[in-house]
Amino acid sequence: MQSVLECLPRASRVGILRLRSLGDCVLSTPALEILKRSRPDLRLAVMVEDRFRAVFEGNPDLDETLPPRLGALRRWRPRLCLNLHGGGRSAWMTALSGARYRAGFSHFRYQVVYNVRIPRAQEILGVERKVHTAEHLASAVFYLGAAITEIPRAKLAAGGTACPTKTQTDAYAIIHPFATTAGKTWGAGGFLAVAQHLRQSGLEPVFIGGGGDDFSPFQAYRGIAGAPLAEIKRLIAGASLYVGNDSGPAHMAAALGVPSVVIFGASDPAIWGPWRSASEVVIAPAGVAQVLDALARLRVAA
């Protein structure tokens, strides 16, 4: 029986729905690379909300980045619509996409939408263990017909040059002390101790966060609040080190090859840890000494 990819005519268009969530967007890029390598002739478009569009900008595997509107998807005229998002909104857009093949995971709701139902990643990969999110997303492309191969590192195109400190040559470390939930957030005192250690070691700490985050504990250091995602991407790309909670920027750092120490609270590092990068994971409740030991193992030079 032919796979979906074998059934697609040459130069077919594919629409991939990944509407939001920074980490998920970043971790979908290995799947895009595998799909493009398997069928270089295909034209790929990702549908994503504007606030996460910068994740995909400059990605050589993509031909278009679409706004999250049904009209944009229908104008793309996909032969295959692959829903990597799940949920009601992405399901009805998949249903009305006009695509001959409408693919989604079998655990998604609204199964009537999909005429290609993708089984669990463990079944596709032939394993019985926890799978990383990058493996989970890539397994969809394997099921569609791409040869099962090593899943590459996530891919971000930084673009431009970030200059967060006094001169272009200053070495700096990015610290992201915030997270979406309290259960994923290490204490401010711990991050301050790490920042002091880094400054003494010759790396200037630069704190990043959203516009609504409380930067008051970190006033002694440079802080960048609410910057556009494209700027954060460039900033992380120029850093010598990343330290932060389990959050979207940590996945950006891993994708950009920046050595990272990531502190995990409520979530599982087997599923959400830095993917294929020089990194150390510290499990909360963690002391400052544990994080400093992790920094020492990375051996990052200022």
Q: Which pLDDT does position 180 carry in this prediction?
A: 79
| CATH superfamily, domain at 172-298 | Glycogen Phosphorylase B; (3.40.50.2000)
Q: Is there a contact between 291 and 261 (Cβ–Cβ < 8 Å)?
A: yes
Q: Is there a contact between 253 and 226 (Cβ–Cβ < 8 Å)?
A: no
Measured distance CA(135)–CA(28) in Å, rounded: 9
Q: Which pLDDT does position 302 carry in this prediction?
A: 55
> DSSP labels for 202-270?
T-EEEEEE-TTS--GGGTTSEEEES--HHHHHHHHHT-SEEEEESSHHHHHHHHTT--EEEEESSS-HH
* Same fold flag, 4-144 and 172-298: yes
Largest CA distance in the chain: 63
Number of C-beta neighbours around residue 215 at 10 A: 16
Mean pLDDT by runs of 10 across the 302 residues of the chain is 96 98 97 98 98 97 98 98 96 98 97 98 97 98 98 89 50 94 85 97 97 96 97 97 96 98 94 97 92 93 60
Q: Which pLDDT does position 160 carry in this prediction?
A: 56
Q: Work out whether strand 80-83 and strand 64-66 pair parallel, antiparallel, or are unpaired.
A: unpaired
CATH architecture of 4-144: 3-Layer(aba) Sandwich (3.40)
Measured distance CA(155)–CA(153) in Å, rounded: 6
Q: Which pLDDT does position 286 carry in this prediction?
A: 85
Number of C-beta neighbours around residue 48 at 10 A: 24
Q: Provide the whole-model pTM.
A: 0.94
Q: Which pLDDT does position 27 carry in this prediction?
A: 98
Measured distance CA(226)–CA(210) in Å, rounded: 4
Annotated domain spans of the chain:
4-144, 172-298
